[in-house]
Amino acid sequence: MSLIQNERTKLLATAANNLAVAILVTAVLAPSASMLYGLSDPTLHRGWLVVGAAWIFAGIALHVVAHLVLGRLKP
């Protein structure tokens, strides 16, 4: 039973970490591409920085959650 629980725990941690990576990439890549290609209004960049910082914080928080989930592994 412990092996099955460990694998489920690892799967949950992997899913949380993958979501964290997706959030971080989206928070950095999308606004950067928008600014690079001139698709966004330059006056809105400060607003994008605030929103981007919130998404980056959410991604880091999910990464920490993934680490905490891995702490539940049983020997």
The secondary element (H helix, E strand) that includes residue 32 is helix 2-36
| pLDDT for 8 beyond 70 | yes
- The predicted-structure confidence for 15-37, as pLDDT tens digits, reads as follows 999 999 999 888 888 777 877 88
| pLDDT for 65 beyond 60 | yes
Tell me if 16 sits within 8 A of 62, measured CB to CB.
yes
Section 7-20 average pLDDT: 93
Of the chain, the end-to-end C-alpha distance in Å amounts to 12
